[in-house]
């Protein structure tokens, strides 16, 4: 309770100062360079909001920021996500910035700081970087100013995955000895990897490459909650994304852990395919980029790093991705099956545009009447364990099921 010793007002005062210190010094610099796509009325409203903020009219600035957020949110939901113009995402982020700072201007309750942090996270999730990635910095300041009571007391230390009480009586662990397994190599040279696996597009498990990364020792539930507990993240709810019942929602990491990992979860929740390490740079220090990525064409900045964190039983249906993938296992084990792109016909991809990279077949319970060719399709499989990296070549079909509470990190590169 050491942090609670200071007067609430004094603490709010330092928060306000810390936030103001992050903002550009002049009103003129608190602005965005926007292209033609953003309508004049929006530009005008942005200017007005900044005027109100600099004029100390926080309440009115909040109103204007809400309108900015609501309008740009509509643009973010118009058309396919990849076609959303970056400027709209920047406007959205700017709205989040103003709203978050305004929420903290008054010496308000602790709820205001948590609300402001949530707004920042929305800006990080849906917006685009503005003003030198200011939202990341604001989020870090807000996180540091959350009253210590906001961080839940960690549960009794039992973070080893196999000591965790199994949620289901039985987890089906496939007998991979009866299946063709993915070859394993210990620290192959760059040339060897390129010649025998990257170029011909063959999967392989790399051992001894990631096993010394800090995450392997550090990432317990307790640690994750400590570093990221109050941050808002996207969670997928439902057995698999091809189900009708499947949905995506937002919640804090603490809420995710208590609802979908700790407390006898009723549904499957999966913190999946989320660029957590852009949102929370502190976690990024616990991982590295596999050297083998330099064999690709792209820059290091173009590598997409995703977190995959969920309870035993999460399933990613059989699908293919348009980039090379290094899947690094940090905590827990995953059963993974791999089918070559040459077998695509036997995997019966959906014919809709949205799901054309996803197979219709339920890999571990296939309907062979409906999908007869699937039975004969050759595959490789493995149980990926902590410290190991699975190389999934571009367009290689893969199916993943978590056998334990699991945390994986994937690197998509070209």
Partner 1 sequence: MAEERRGSWFGFGFCGFGQALGSGRGRQVHSPEPLQTPGEGADVCRVSASWSYTAFVTRGGRLELSGSAGCAAGGCRDAWASEALLVVLRAGPGRGAGTELQAWAPGSALSGEPLWAHTVGPEAEGEDAPGGEPQAGALPLLPGGRAYVSPRPPFYSPLAPELRARRLELGAEHALLLDEAGQVFSWGQGRHGQLGHGTLEAELEPRPLEALQGVPMAEVAAGGWHSVCVSETGDIYIWGWNDSGQLALPSRSLAEVGKAAAGEASGLKEDGCDVRTAEGESGGLAPFIAIQPFPALLDLPPGTDAVKASCGSRHTAVVTRTGELYTWGWGKYGQLGHKDTSSLDRPRRVEYFVDKRLQVRAVSCGPWNTYVYAVEKAEG
Q: CB of 104 within 8 A of CB of 15?
A: yes
Strand pairing class (184-186; 204-207): parallel
- Minimum CB distance to partner 1, residue 211 (Å): 40
CB-count burial class (<10 Å; 0-12, 13-18, 19+) for 391: buried
Number of residues that bind partner 1 (CB under 8 A): 20
Query: Which residues ranging from 279 to 338 are in contact with partner 1 (CB under 8 A)?
Result: none
Q: Out of 39, 243, 291, 367, which residue is the one contacting partner 1 (CB under 8 A)?
A: 39
Q: CB of 401 within 8 A of CB of 334?
A: yes
Q: Out of 62, 64, 103, 230, which residue is the one contacting partner 1 (CB under 8 A)?
A: 64
* 181 is an interface residue for partner 1 by CB under 8 A: no
Helix, strand, coil percent values for the chain (each to nearest 5) = 40, 20, 40
* 226 is an interface residue for partner 1 by CB under 8 A: no
- Cα dihedral: 86, 88, 92, 97 (round 10): 60
- Looking at the Cβ atoms of 147 and 238, the one nearer to partner 1 is 238
* Strands, E assignment, 128-282: 184-186, 204-207, 232-237, 247-252, 269-274
- Minimum CB distance to partner 1, residue 52 (Å): 12
Q: Out of 53, 71, 308, 397, which residue is the one contacting partner 1 (CB under 8 A)?
A: 71
* 45 is an interface residue for partner 1 by CB under 8 A: yes
Q: Out of 14, 77, 158, 414, which residue is the one contacting partner 1 (CB under 8 A)?
A: 77
- Looking at the Cβ atoms of 185 and 237, the one nearer to partner 1 is 237
Number of residues that this document lists for the chain: 414
Sole window of 34-42, 222-230, 268-276, 372-380 interacting with partner 1 (rule: CB under 8 A): 34-42
Torsion region of 254: left, alpha or beta (phi above 0 gives left; psi -120 to 50 gives alpha): alpha
The 10 Å Cβ neighbour count of residue 216 is: 17
* 63 is an interface residue for partner 1 by CB under 8 A: yes
- Minimum CB distance to partner 1, residue 10 (Å): 28
- Minimum CB distance to partner 1, residue 40 (Å): 6
* 148 is an interface residue for partner 1 by CB under 8 A: no
Among all chains, which residue has been given the structure tokens 């059963």? Answer: 335
Which residues on adjacent β-strands are paired with residue 241? none
* 146 is an interface residue for partner 1 by CB under 8 A: no
Q: CB of 89 within 8 A of CB of 135?
A: no
- Minimum CB distance to partner 1, residue 119 (Å): 16
* 41 is an interface residue for partner 1 by CB under 8 A: yes
Which spans of this chain sit near partner 1 (rule: CB under 8 A)? 39-42, 44-45, 63-64, 67, 70-71, 74, 77-80, 247, 352-354
């Amino acid at each position: 309770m050491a942090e609670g010793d200071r007067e609430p007002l004094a603490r709010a005062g330092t928060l306000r100062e810390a936030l103001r210190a992050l903002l550009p010094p002049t009103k003129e610099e608190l602005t965005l360079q926007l292209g033609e796509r953003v309508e004049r009325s929006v530009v005008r409203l942005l200017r007005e909001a900044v005027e109100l903020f600099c004029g100390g009219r926080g309440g009115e600035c909040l109103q204007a920021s809400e309108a900015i957020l609501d309008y740009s949110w509509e643009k973010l939901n118009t058309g396919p996500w990849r076609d959303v113009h970056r400027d709209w995402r920047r406007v959205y982020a700017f709205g989040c910035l103003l709203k978050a700072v305004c929420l903290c201007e008054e010496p308000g309750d602790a709820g205001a700081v948590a609300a402001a942090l949530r707004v920042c996270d929305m800006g990080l999730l849906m917006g685009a970087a503005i003003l030198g990635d200011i939202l990341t910095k604001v989020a870090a300041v807000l996180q540091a100013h959350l009253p210590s009571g906001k961080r839940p007391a960690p549960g009794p230390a039992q973070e080893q995955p196999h000591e965790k009480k199994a949620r289901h009586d039985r987890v089906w662990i496939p007998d991979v000895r009866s299946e063709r397994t993915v070859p394993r190599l210990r620290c192959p040279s760059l040339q060897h990897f390129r010649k025998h696996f990257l170029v011909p597009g063959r999967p392989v498990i790399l051992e001894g490459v990631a096993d010394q990364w800090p995450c392997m020792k550090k990432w317990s539930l307790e640690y994750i909650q400590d570093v990221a507990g109050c941050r808002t993240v996207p969670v997928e709810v439902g057995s698999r994304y091809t189900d009708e019942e499947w949905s995506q929602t937002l919640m804090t990491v603490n809420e995710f852990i208590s609802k979908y990992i700790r407390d006898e979860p009723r549904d499957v929740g999966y913190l999946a395919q989320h660029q957590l390490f852009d949102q929370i740079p502190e976690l990024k220090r616990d991982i590295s980029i596999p050297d083998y990525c330099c064999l690709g064409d792209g820059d290091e900045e173009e590598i997409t790093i995703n977190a995959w964190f969920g309870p035993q039983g999460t399933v990613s249906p059989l699908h293919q991705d348009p980039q090379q993938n290094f899947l690094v296992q940090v905590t827990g084990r995953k059963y993974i099956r791999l089918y070559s792109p040459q077998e695509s016909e036997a995997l019966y991809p959906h014919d809709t545009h949205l799901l054309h990279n996803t197979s219709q077949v339920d890999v571990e319970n296939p309907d062979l009447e409906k999908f007869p060719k699937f039975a004969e399709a050759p595959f490789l499989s493995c149980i990926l364990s902590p410290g190991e990296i699975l190389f999934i070549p571009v367009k290689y079909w893969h199916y993943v099921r978590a056998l334990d509470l699991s945390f994986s990190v994937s690197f998509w590169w070209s």
